[in-house]
């Protein structure tokens, strides 16, 4: 059995939420790509892909939120927890994705163009903002160490 110093124990305290957050971001970004493909080709296959990607992103986003709640009660992950603006952005992204999923539940062209495409673009842009806010926090933490 290895004996860990206090610094080594802190290094092993990796937040569980960080494992799940990238998956919804990828799903929502790919939903934008499939919405653009549907807009350009009018092939219903792309609309179905968008609906499935939104569903997968929402499920994985809820799992990420639950993992974040687990991280809240773990004392060793205190320094690596997401900041409040990041959490707020994650919740806004999930709310917009849920609204986008409701829009995509419609049939035909109006299920994607213009509102579904717009919501996908806004959701993807907010994913980029959330990633930048999170990266900024981790960069400040790295400079402190």
Q: What is the pLDDT of residue 7?
A: 57
8 band by pLDDT with thresholds 50, 70 and 90: low
Q: Please provide the DSSP assignment of 49-98 as one string.
A: HHHHHHHHHHHHHHHHHHHHHHHHH-GGGGGGSPPHHHHHHHHHHHHHHH
Averaged confidence pLDDT in the chain: 86
Q: Give the pTM.
A: 0.84
Q: Is the peptide bond before 114 cis (omega within 30 degrees of 0)?
A: yes
9 band by pLDDT with thresholds 50, 70 and 90: low
18 band by pLDDT with thresholds 50, 70 and 90: confident
């Amino acid at each position: 059995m290895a004996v860990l110093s206090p610094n080594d124990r802190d290094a092993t305290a990796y937040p569980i939420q960080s494992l799940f957050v990238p998956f919804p971001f990828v799903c929502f970004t790919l939903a934008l790509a499939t919405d653009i493909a549907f807009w350009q080709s009018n092939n219903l296959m792309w609309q179905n892909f968008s609906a499935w990607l939104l569903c997968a992103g929402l499920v994985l986003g809820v799992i990420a939120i639950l993992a974040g709640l687990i991280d809240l009660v773990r004392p060793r992950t205190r320094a690596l927890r997401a900041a409040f603006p990041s959490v707020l952005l994650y919740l806004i992204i999930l709310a917009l994705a849920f609204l986008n999923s409701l829009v995509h539940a419609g049939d035909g062209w109006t299920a994607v163009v213009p509102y579904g495409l717009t919501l996908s673009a806004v959701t993807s842009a907010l994913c980029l903002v959330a990633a930048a806010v999170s990266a900024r926090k981790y960069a400040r933490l790295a400079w402190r160490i």
